[in-house]
Chain A
Amino acid sequence: MRPESDDRYYTDGVEVPITPPAAAEPEPWGETRVVGKPLPRVDAYERVSGTAVYPADMTLPRMLYGAILGCPHPHADVRSVDISGATRLPGVRAVISAFDVPPALGPHAGTMRDQLFPTRCRYEGAAVAAVAAETPYQAFDALRAIAVDYEVLPFVADERRALEPDAPRIYDEGNRVGDPQRYARGDVERGFAEADVVLEEDYRTECEIHTPMEPHGCVAQWDGDSLTVWESTQGVYNVQPQVADALGLPLSKVRIVGHYMGGGFGSKLQAGAYTIVASLLAKQTARPVKLTITREDSFLSVGNRPPANMHIKAGVKRDGTLTALEFVGSGTGGAYRSGGTPTSFLLADLYLCPNVRTELTDIYINAGPARPFRAPGHPQSSWALEQMMDALARAIGMDPVEFRVRNTPTVSQMRNGIPYTTTGLRACLEEGAKAFRWRETRDEITRRGSQGHLRRGIGMAAGMWSAGGGGPPSTAIVKLFADGSVNLNMGASDIGTGTKTVMAMIVAEELGVPYDGVQIEHADTSTTQWASASGGSKTVPTESPAVRAAAIDVRDQLFRLAAEELQVDPSTLSLENGSIMCSTDPAKTTPLPRLRALRQRRSITGVGYRGPNPEGKAINPFAAQFCEVEVDPSTGEVRIVRFLGTNDSGRVMNLLTYRNQVFGGITMGIGYVMTEARVLDVDQTGKLCNKNWHDYKLPTALDVPADMTCLPIDVPDTEANTAGAKGIGEPATIPTGGAIANAIYDAIGVRLTDTPMTPAHVVQALAARGEG
Chain B
Amino acid sequence: MSDAHDPTDGPPEARRGVSRRGFLSSVGTGAFTAAAARSVAAEPPSGAPVVQAAERTKIALHVNGRRHEMLVEPRWSLAYVLREHLGLTGTKVGCERGECGACTVLIEDVPRYACLTLAVEAAGANITTLEGLMIGEELGPTQQAFLEEDAFQCGYCTPGQIMAVEGMLRSDADPSLEEIQRGVSGNLCRCGTYAHIFRAAQRAAELKQEPGGAR
B148 close to A40 (CB less than 8 A): yes
A-B contact pairs, 11 of them (CB 8 A): A57-B92, A136-B80, A137-B73, A212-B156, A215-B94, A262-B94, A263-B153, A663-B196, A693-B100, A700-B188, A704-B195
- Considering only residues 79-129 of chain B, those with a C-beta below 8 Å from chain A are 80, 83-84, 87-97, 99-100, 102, 129
Contact of A144 among B29, B84, B129, B130 (CB under 8 A): B29
Q: Which A residues touch B23, using CB under 8 A?
A: none
A692 close to B83 (CB less than 8 A): no
A706 close to B177 (CB less than 8 A): yes
By beta carbon, the residue of chain B nearest A665 is B192
Measured CB to CB, the closest approach of chain A to B212, in angstroms, equals 19
Which one of A44-52, A96-104, A457-465 is at the B interface? A44-52
Q: How far is the CA of A306 from the CA of B188 in the complex (A)?
A: 23
Instruction: Flag B128-169 by CB within 8 Å of A: 1 or 0 each.
Output: 011100100001000110111010111111110010000000
Q: Which A residues touch B154, using CB under 8 A?
A: 212-214, 260-263, 495-496
State the B residues within 8 Å of A (CB).
29-33, 54, 73, 75-76, 80, 83-84, 87-97, 99-100, 102, 129-131, 134, 139, 143-144, 146-148, 150, 152-159, 162, 177, 181-182, 184-198
A89 close to B185 (CB less than 8 A): no
Number of chain A residues close to chain B: CB under 8 A: 69
Q: Which A residues touch B90, using CB under 8 A?
A: 49-51
Instruction: Flag A120-143 by CB within 8 Å of B: 1 or 0 each.
Output: 000000000000000111101100
B152 close to A47 (CB less than 8 A): yes
Q: Which B residues touch A705, using CB under 8 A?
A: 195
Contact of A265 among B29, B139, B147, B190 (CB under 8 A): B190
Measured CB to CB, the closest approach of chain A to B61, in angstroms, equals 17
B92 close to A56 (CB less than 8 A): yes
Q: How far is the CA of A41 from the CA of B128 in the complex (A)?
A: 26
Q: Which A residues touch B177, using CB under 8 A?
A: 706
A214 close to B188 (CB less than 8 A): no
A660 close to B193 (CB less than 8 A): yes
The dominant DSSP class at the B interface is loop
B96 close to A260 (CB less than 8 A): no
Instruction: Flag A198-238 by CB within 8 Å of B: 1 or 0 each.
Output: 00000000000011111100000000000000000000000
Q: Which B residues touch A148, using CB under 8 A?
A: none
Q: How far is the CA of A114 from the CA of B7 in the complex (A)?
A: 51
A263 close to B190 (CB less than 8 A): yes
Q: How far is the CA of A475 from the CA of B127 in the complex (A)?
A: 46
Q: Any chain B CB within 8 A of the CB of A174?
A: no
A262 close to B196 (CB less than 8 A): no
Q: Any chain B CB within 8 A of the CB of A708?
A: yes
With contacts A136-B80, A213-B100, A704-B195 taken as known, whether A48 is within 8 angstroms of B153 at the C-beta atoms is no
Q: Any chain B CB within 8 A of the CB of A453?
A: no
Q: How far is the CA of A660 from the CA of B129 in the complex (A)?
A: 26
Q: How far is the CA of A45 from the CA of B155 in the complex (A)?
A: 11
Q: Which B residues touch A135, using CB under 8 A?
A: 73, 84
With contacts A45-B147, A701-B184 taken as known, whether A668 is within 8 angstroms of B192 at the C-beta atoms is yes
A693 close to B31 (CB less than 8 A): no
Contact of B162 among A48, A140, A214, A294 (CB under 8 A): A48
Q: How far is the CA of A44 from the CA of B152 in the complex (A)?
A: 9
B158 close to A693 (CB less than 8 A): no
B100 close to A701 (CB less than 8 A): no
With contacts A56-B92, A262-B155, A706-B181 taken as known, whether A40 is within 8 angstroms of B147 at the C-beta atoms is yes
Q: Which A residues touch B189, using CB under 8 A?
A: 213, 667
Measured CB to CB, the closest approach of chain A to B204, in angstroms, equals 11
Q: Which A residues touch B182, using CB under 8 A?
A: 701-702
Q: How far is the CA of A292 from the CA of B97 in the complex (A)?
A: 15
Q: How far is the CA of A263 from the CA of B156 in the complex (A)?
A: 8
Contact of A141 among B31, B156, B159 (CB under 8 A): B31
Q: Any chain B CB within 8 A of the CB of A694?
A: yes
Q: Which A residues touch B155, using CB under 8 A?
A: 46-48, 52, 260, 262, 496
Measured CB to CB, the closest approach of chain A to B21, in angstroms, equals 20
Measured CB to CB, the closest approach of chain A to B76, in angstroms, equals 7
Contact of A213 among B30, B73, B91, B190 (CB under 8 A): B190
Measured CB to CB, the closest approach of chain A to B198, in angstroms, equals 5
A664 close to B192 (CB less than 8 A): yes
The list of the 4 closest CB pairs from A to B, nearest first, reads A50-B90, A667-B192, A262-B156, A496-B154
A144 close to B94 (CB less than 8 A): no
**Given A47-B158, A692-B95, A701-B181, 8 other A-B contacts at CB below 8 A?**
A48-B143, A49-B90, A141-B29, A213-B189, A262-B155, A496-B152, A667-B193, A692-B97
Greatest chain B CB density within 10 A among A59, A90, A496, A668 is at: A496
Contact of B92 among A136, A214, A671, A693 (CB under 8 A): A214
Q: Any chain B CB within 8 A of the CB of A742?
A: no
Q: Which B residues touch A50, using CB under 8 A?
A: 88-91, 129-131, 159
B147 close to A213 (CB less than 8 A): no
Contact of B191 among A51, A659, A664 (CB under 8 A): A664
By beta carbon, the residue of chain A nearest B186 is A700
B150 close to A656 (CB less than 8 A): yes
